Homo-oligomer: A and B are copies of this chain.
């Protein structure tokens, strides 16, 4: 017996960044540089990693869950990082 489930492909965009209580040293360096170069006094930078990727799933809801799992288990380290799904779109 063959069960056919129609799978859609979704493209997901996520940002992974340090939790608020972890010092973002890279950001502090950029802040300082912009200040010294007189470009911006209080840039208040935050840095993160951006990923865009596809998952195949039967619907939007389950795609979001799968993406969440990938973020948690593959892309981030929950000890120090948090993630945010910025967008999720059906790919035609």
Contact = CB atoms under 8 A, between A and B. Distances in A.
Interface in A69-86: 70, 74-75, 86
Contacts of A74: 30, 33-34, 39
A53 B51 CA distance: 19
Interface residues of A, number: 31
B47 A49 contact: yes
Interface string A1-34: 0000000010100011100000000000010011
Copies assembled: 2
B49 A53 contact: no
A56 interface: yes
Interface of A: 9, 11, 15-17, 30, 33-34, 39-56, 66, 70, 74-75, 86
